[in-house]
Structures are given as C-alpha cells and as structure tokens.
Amino acid sequence: MDKHKLGIIVPYRDRQEHLKIFLETITNYLLYKNIDYVIIVVEQDNAKQFNRGILLNIGFKYAEKMRCDYVVFHDVDMVPIDVDYSYSEVPLHLATDFMIEWDENKREVFEEYFGGVTLFPIDSFIKINGYSNKYWGWGYEDTDLLLRCKVNNVDLNVNKFKNMGKNGTSLYFNGVDSYVEANNVIDLNNNATFFVSFYPDNFILNHTKESDEFTVFSIPGWDFAVCYNSFSRYNFCAFDTSHKPYYINSEIKPPYKTNMVIVLNMNEKYIKVYQDGVEIGQTDTFKKLFFYKKEPKFYLGAGKPGRENIPNLFKGFIDSFAYFDEILSDEEIREISNNEKYYLTESFNGYKSNKSLKLYYDADFIENYELVDLSKNGNNGKIVNCDIQEQTNNRYVEVKIPHRRKSIFKSLKHEENGFLGNKWKDQATRWNQLRFHNEVSLNHDLFKNDGLSDLQFVEHGKTYNNKILQINVGI
C-alpha cells in the first residue's frame, strides 16, 4: 500500500443520481490502485446559494483530521475512466479530457483552468489559505485558487503567448475618452477583409453592465466590431437586418499583442475570423447584414464614443488597421498576421499589395495628430485623447498555469452553467467576476482573512461507511 493517504473531497447538493454513479464508479476504480483513501462528500443544505469553495474547505478540514497528506477536490459529475490519483508534491490539475454524451456540449479546458478535479498536497493548500469562501453560485473560486498559488509562489507551470507583429509606434487608448474617428468608406455589401493589430491592457469591469466589451474596431449601430471582452476572449460580432447576432469567440486567452483578420464573404454570406493567422471560427450564413453604411463614421478604440451606457471604450494599444475590398487568401492572411517587418503597402513573401487596399493606418505614420491613410485614398483617422508611444514588447507573454496530469473522465450530463449565448447564464457569476477582477486581483491582502482561516459552518449530521464519509452542513 502507498504510504500516502488521499482524501477525495466532493462538494454536493441535489444530484442524487450523479452521486450514486460517482461513488459506485470511483470505489470500483480505486479497488486495485494500491492507494489508501477516504471519500468525503460535503453536502450543503438549501438555506443559501451553492458555495463550492466553502464546501471544499470544509472537506479539507475533515481530511486533515483523518490524517490525509494530500487531497483531490472532485466534482460529482466527473467520473474516472483513466486517472492517476497518486501523490504529487506539487498541485496538479487532473480534469484534462472528457468522454461526453452525444448531445452534451464539449467541456472547455483552457490553459488557466483549475477546476473540476484538482490535486493538492496538504501543505500547499494550507500555504494558500485554501479556497475563498466568498464566491456564491457558479464560477471564479477556481480562478481565485490559481491566483492564490501564484501570489504564494506555489510551484506552477508556464505557458507562453507570442506577441505578434512589429515593434514601433502605437496609440495608447485609456479606456475613458480615447478613440480614433474616420469616415465610414467601408462597403459591407461586397467582399471585404479587415486587419487589426492590438494589445489589450488590464481592465476594470463596469458593475452596472452584464458584461464588458472593449472595442478595438467598430462600425456602430448594431456594432460590426472586434473586441476583447470580460470573458477573456477575443471576439467578433455583427448583426443582420433582423438584429440577429453573429458571434465568433476565441478560446480564453490573456491580454497579449495579437493580430485579427475578419473576412466577409458576401458571395456565400458568411464571415470568417482569424487570430494570428489561424482560423478561429466561421459564422452561420446570413441573408443580409444590418445597414451599416448609414453610419457616417467608424471607430478604433470605441464602439461609439458618447453613446449612453455602452460606448465600449478600449484600453490598450492599437498600432495598425487595414481594410481591403476583396477576400485575401489563407496564405496572405498568414503572411500579414505573422509579419514583423513590412508595411502592407509593400509586397512580401506570399502577400501582394494592390489596389484592393482601400484604407490603411500604421501608427508609425502620424501627422497633425491624425493617422495617415497609407492607401493614398485620403481618409485620415482623427485621433482623440490617445497617447503616442514607442512600444517594444517582450517576445512572449508568460502566464503561470497549473501543472497537469493527463486524465480521462466520463462527463455526466447536467444543466449547463457559465458562458452561454455570449453572456453568463447566472447573475451570480457576474458578481463573482466583478469581485475577482475589481477587488481580489488588485488586492492580494484579501487572501489572508478569506479561506481556511475564517471558515465557519454548522455540521447537521454525518455518516461513515466503507471509506465514505458523508457530511451535511449549513454555511
């Protein structure tokens, strides 16, 4: 028998069928794995919203009493198919791969994801003061957990995002009153390609809104726009004449210098979106786009300045923007996306500059506080309250992420939560997001008195049988 003892901690409420399947499966799975273990099911009563973090902290306290030296925090709807639950000296994320039902949405496992099934040695979890107790409903307790590991220098892996494009002059948009305004010469009734190079800055979320869109490029109205949003996704949206939205979102990614290309195919009535030369999505086909031509201006760094409630102002750097009145080939898109040297008025490698380039700004060319239209079509961009800065980026943005141990789980079908329809399903998730971004990420002292150190609960009852401890608690 392994000298270590594992505590598997399961937060639970109102999923009786899932719990039955989980307990049967995991006990059979561990039967011949040579692991000393106890399963601790922490069931929350119905007095308040579900709080996963508190339940896991409670389970951890019981695991300590039962002399466990490591724990696995384990959602009840993830049952093991091929999982190594053995001891690790560093925290590990185990929920890496899933077998799902045919009618179930694919589970998104992004680089900083630290939820689902997570392993911690006892001392590491104590070092970070456990989970926060302040995230009610769905989401952000695992995001907070990863930040606690970063702040407390717990051993983590590193992922790198390459900063794209060239160094040079950029416009810095302050997220308050900065934008660039130009005449709307863009024809969305015909084929088109758009290119924009930008670097979002860290942002503060607006507590009066359901979500935040930080707009890089927009033809306003029902905005035809490229954004970075509060879901940490690079986003494109457009609308048809019935105001039906067409969204394309990247995977969850941090702010870094990125190049996005939007291809409007009016022959086949769809839009493709590329990030850093790689296609990230294609819209459904549409009949007719919203009549964007009636808008006299388009904008960089804003949805529409002065618009009440949703001006969608961008905070960060933009260094170049281009509009072509034709569809660029995949090779040309790769070339301009990976270009670090040339201007788009020059031909290079597989990209051929020609008269289809109808509008082109590069912040290296500013005169009289205007972006010069390098296509020579005379549509200069009026700069408003932007700083002109020389930008020299590091080659990569480094992001600390969990160490991972590849595993396969069967996903038990359940009601979807989280990011649905380009917004949070539940308002509580938005409140959690606001707490994390606007408070916790800016004030790490909040960790000291939120977690294991201030945990409070009432034990209503408990049973122990065949290595399974079930506790009912009030919080």
Query: φ and ψ at 325, to 5 degrees?
Result: -95, 35
**Cα separation, 274 vs 165, whole angstroms:** 15
- Output the CA torsion sign for 140, 142, 146, 148: positive
b/e string for 277-292 if b means 16 or more Cβ within 10 A? beebeebeebeebbeb
**Cα separation, 471 vs 357, whole angstroms:** 67
Can you tell me whether residue 324 is helix, strand or coil? strand
Contacts of 436-445 spanning 24+ positions with Cβ under 8 A? 436/135, 436/140, 436/143, 436/144, 436/147, 437/203, 437/204, 437/205, 437/230, 438/204, 438/205, 438/207, 440/132, 440/144, 440/147, 441/147, 444/147, 444/151
pLDDT at 102: 66
* DSSP labels, 117-143: EEEEEHHHHHHTTSS-S---SSSSHHH
- pTM of the full predicted structure? 0.90
Instruction: Provide block-wise average pLDDT over 10 residues at a time, the chain (475 residues).
Output: 88 93 95 93 90 97 97 96 97 92 68 93 98 94 97 96 93 96 96 98 87 93 94 95 95 95 97 97 95 95 90 96 97 96 95 95 97 97 97 92 96 74 79 94 94 96 95 95
Measuring CA to CA, which residue among 180, 386, 415, 200 is closest to residue 299? Answer: 180
pLDDT at 1: 53
Our measurement of the distance from residue 462's CA atom to the centroid of its chain's CA atoms, rounded to an integer in Å, reads 38
325 contacts: CB under 8 Å, gap ≥ 6: 187, 190, 191, 192, 356, 358
Measuring CA to CA, which residue among 389, 384, 208 is closest to residue 304? Answer: 384
pLDDT at 21: 96
pLDDT at 422: 66
Joined together, the tokens standing for residue 101 give: 């039902």
pLDDT at 105: 64
